[in-house]
C-alpha cells in the first residue's frame, strides 16, 4: 500500500493532474482489493488529500498490527499457590 501510494502520487505530479474526481477514480481503480478499498467504496472520498490521509492511517495501523503479531511475549514463571486438594479417588489410592 505504501509503495502504491508513493508511485501514484509521483505519477499524479508528473502528469500534472489537477482534477480531483479523476485522481480519486484512478486511485480506486488501481488499488488491490482488500479492507482499505472496501472502506473507500463504503465512504467515498471527495479529494485525493482525503485518500492520502486515510491511506497513511491504514498503513500505520497495518504496521502496528504486524508488529504486534510478530512480538513474542516473555513467558511468566509459574506462580506457586497453595497445594490443591486431592479428589476422593486420589485420596483412597
Encode pLDDT of 38-69 as tens digits: 998 899 888 888 999 999 999 998 888 888 88
- Does the residue 22 lie in any domain? yes
Query: Is 13 contained in some domain?
Result: yes
- Extract the C-alpha cell encoding 67: 508488529
Classify residue 75: in a domain, yes or no.
no
Q: Does residue 92 sit within a domain?
A: no
Confirm whether 81 is domain-assigned: no
pTM for the full model? 0.62
Q: Is residue 40 part of a domain?
A: yes
What domain range includes position 8? Answer: 2-70
| Cell triple for 86 | 486431592
Q: Considering only CA atoms, which of 53, 55, 61 is closest in space to residue 31?
A: 55
Please report which confidence band the pLDDT of residue 79 belongs to, taking 50, 70 and 90 as the band edges. low
Query: How high is the pLDDT of residue 56?
Result: 92
Q: Considering its fold, how many domains does the chain have in total?
A: 1
Q: Is residue 49 part of a domain?
A: yes
Amino acid at each position: 500500500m505504501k509503495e502504491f501510494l508513493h508511485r501514484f502520487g509521483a505519477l499524479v505530479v508528473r502528469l500534472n493532474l489537477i482534477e480531483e474526481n479523476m485522481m480519486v477514480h484512478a486511485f480506486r481503480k488501481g488499488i488491490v482489493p482488500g479492507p482499505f478499498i472496501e472502506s473507500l467504496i463504503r465512504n467515498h472520498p471527495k479529494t485525493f488529500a482525503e485518500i492520502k490521509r486515510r491511506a497513511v492511517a491504514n498503513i500505520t495501523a497495518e504496521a502496528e498490527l504486524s508488529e504486534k503479531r510478530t512480538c513474542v511475549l516473555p513467558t511468566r514463571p509459574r506462580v506457586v499457590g497453595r497445594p490443591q486438594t486431592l479428589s476422593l479417588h486420589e485420596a483412597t489410592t
